[in-house]
Amino acid sequence: MSNLMTVDNGFQERYEEYEELLCKRDQLNKEAASLLIAYTKEFGDMITGNFELKIDCIKKKKMIAFCQKQINCGKGIDTDLMNTMIEQEMKIYYHELQDMLIKNKLAKDAKNVSEFRAQRAKKIYRRLAKMLHPDINGKTAENMELMELWERISYAYQISDVDDLEDLEILVRKALEELGEDSFEIAYTNIEDRIERITRQINEILTTEPYIYMDLLCNEEKKAEKKKELEAEREEYQQYLKELTETLDKMIQEGGVKITWEMN
Residue 208 host element (H or E): none
**Residue 234 DSSP SS3:** helix
pLDDT band of 96, cuts 50, 70, 90? very high
Residue 39 has pLDDT above 90, yes or no: yes
- Cα(104)–Cα(40) distance, rounded to whole angstroms? 6
pLDDT, tens digit, 9 for 90 and up, residues 6-15: 456 777 788 8
Task: Specify the DSSP element, H or E, that contains 197.
Answer: helix 191-207
* pLDDT score recorded for residue 114: 80
Q: Torsion over CA of 46, 103, 95 and 262, rounded to 10 degrees?
A: 30
pLDDT of residue 184: 53
- Indicate whether 107 pLDDT > 90: no
Long-range pairs for 149-154: beta carbons < 8 A, 24 or more residues apart? 149/175, 153/125, 153/128, 153/129, 154/26
pLDDT digits (tens, 9 = 90+) for 234-254: 999 999 999 999 999 888 776
User: How far apart, in whole angstroms, are the C-alpha atoms of residue 205 and residue 223?
Assistant: 22
Peptide bond preceding 210 in cis form (omega within 30 of 0): yes
pLDDT at 264 over 60: no
The confidence band for 4, taking pLDDT boundaries of 50, 70 and 90, is very low
Across 55-70, average pLDDT: 92
Q: pTM score > 0.85 for this model?
A: no
Q: Name the 3-class secondary structure at 184.
A: strand
Average pLDDT, the chain: 86
- pLDDT top residue among 187 and 11: 11
Instruction: Summarize pLDDT for 132-146 with one digit per residue, the tens.
Output: 999 888 889 888 999
Check the CA dihedral 210-216-219-225 and report its sign: negative
- Each as own residue / partner, the long-range contacts of residues 11-17 (CB below 8 Å, 24 or more positions apart, any chain) are 11/186, 11/191, 12/186, 14/191, 14/192, 14/195, 15/186, 15/188, 15/191, 17/195
16, 25, 23, 50: which is closest to 229 by C-alpha?
A: 50
Q: In this model, does residue 75 exceed pLDDT 90?
A: no
Q: How much of the chain, in percent, has pLDDT values that exceed 70?
A: 89
Q: Per-residue confidence at 80, pLDDT binned at 50, 70, 90?
A: confident
Q: Of 23-27, 195-199, 259-263, where does mean pLDDT reach its minimum?
A: 259-263
Residue 27 near residue 35, CB atoms below 8 Å:
no
C-alpha to C-alpha distance for 177 and 182, rounded to whole angstroms: 5
When pLDDT is averaged across residues 161-187 and rounded to a whole number, the result is 79
Instruction: Say if residue 227's pLDDT is above 50.
Output: yes
Spans of all domains in the chain = 8-110+189-257, 113-179
